[in-house]
Structures are given as structure tokens and as C-alpha cells.
Amino acid sequence: MSEENIYDEIEIEDMTFDSVLQTYHYPCPCGDRFEINIEDLRDGEEIAVCPSCSLMIRVIFDVDDLPKPEGGATGQAQQVVAV
């Protein structure tokens, strides 16, 4: 991504986390909101985009401070086996 498209740099603490969608949000000047999925953050992505306009923000965060996956899973599906 080119640097000139970055609207701002935002600390993750200033964003809102939706635990159902597993997505961080931040208000966009256009009236919509920037969004980035927690899995993208864990994968090293740091750019949140607004779905309604061309603006993007850089999210400042530490991967170790992100909420842990539910159930302690590390992205691998767990299978229940009946006995």
C-alpha cells in the first residue's frame, strides 16, 4: 500500500472491538467506519480500510496485546468426537 493513501495512524486502544464479528472499528470522516479483522492483525496486517471511501488508517498495535482466540485455539478447527 502506498503511504499517500494513509489518512492517519491510530492506536488500537482508540478503536472499538466487536467480539461477535472479531473486528476492530474506528470512525471515518465520511460517516462510515474503518474496519480490520483480528485475524488480519494477527497475520501482521496493519491497514484498516473504510468500505465506503478510499481512506485507510495504519493501526498501531502489538500482536501480543490482541485478544486471545476463544477456546485457546490457534486458528485450527477442533473436532468433537463422541465416545
Q: What is the pLDDT of residues 28-64, one digit of tens each?
A: 999 999 999 999 999 999 999 999 998 999 999 998 8
The reply to whether 14 falls in a domain is: yes
The reply to whether 72 falls in a domain is: no
The reply to whether 58 falls in a domain is: yes
CATH (domain of 41): 3.10.660.10
User: What domain range includes position 16?
Assistant: 3-62
Going by their DSSP bridges, the two strands 6-11 and 56-60 should be labelled as parallel
The reply to whether 53 falls in a domain is: yes
Of 57 and 78, the one with more pLDDT: 57
CA pair distance 27, 10, nearest whole angstrom: 11
Going by their DSSP bridges, the two strands 16-18 and 23-27 should be labelled as antiparallel
The answer, as to whether pTM is greater than 0.85, is: no
The reply to whether 44 falls in a domain is: yes
- pLDDT confidence band for 77 (50 / 70 / 90): very low
The reply to whether 80 falls in a domain is: no
The reply to whether 68 falls in a domain is: no
The reply to whether 8 falls in a domain is: yes
In this predicted structure, the answer to whether residue 75 has a pLDDT above a threshold of 80 is no
Alpha carbon dihedral 6, 12, 13, 16, in 10-degree steps, equals: 90
The total domain count for the chain is: 1
